[in-house]
Structure 1
């Protein structure tokens, strides 16, 4: 009897064990806060998804608007001399491309 190449369950019927978890760089870029070292300073970088972007901000990299609905990153220093509260208060919203090229 020949082998059937058709799926045994209907399309869209996914089981819990069929869900794949992102690994490596995909997992890192899907909303996980990370720490980056730039020019001898340490920064916390938090990606913001397009669905979570609700307000308009000014990107310090290009001076353009980071529009609502646009995926971007929020960046703040983690090694400032004024403490964690001041570092968090000075966080800025960057276009992802602007932050990568800064």
Structure 2
């Protein structure tokens, strides 16, 4: 009797279709929330490949050009108030006003 060859899992996944962290591949994860003195802020990183428009950073008042990785920040429940920040500008703001961070752990 011949034996069947065992199929290898797809690259980057184990046999159960999960990534290396034990989460199902493609699982939705909540955006981290940063709590500052002036309230809570949802923070989402954006890759340079995903940007096609010019935005203005409220931290430095300079443009964020297409192809530049940056952060999109907004108050929870108010997505229409989202703003695009350079990462160093947002980090500087957080250092000045940080209380604590919450996010996926």
Scaled to the shorter chain, the TM-score interval is 0.5 to 0.7
- The total of aligned residue pairs comes to 74
Runs of 4+ in 1 over 4 A off after TM superposition: 20-23
In 1, Cα distance between the equivalents of 2:31 and 2:60?
23
User: Deviation string for 1:20-43 (max 9, x for gaps)?
Assistant: 7576xxxxxxx9721111115110
Bigger relative CO (Cα 8 Å, ≥ 6 apart): 2
Residue 75 of structure 2 corresponds to residue 77 of structure 1: yes
Specify whether residues 51 and 60 from structure 1 end up closer, same or farther in structure 2 by C-alpha distance, changes over 3 A only: same
RMSD over aligned Cα atoms: 2.4
TM-score normalised over the length of structure 2: 0.60
Specify whether residues 32 and 55 from structure 1 end up closer, same or farther in structure 2 by C-alpha distance, changes over 3 A only: farther
- Report the structure, 1 or 2, having the larger helix content: 1
Segments of 5+ residues of structure 1 without an aligned counterpart are 1-14, 24-30, 79-83
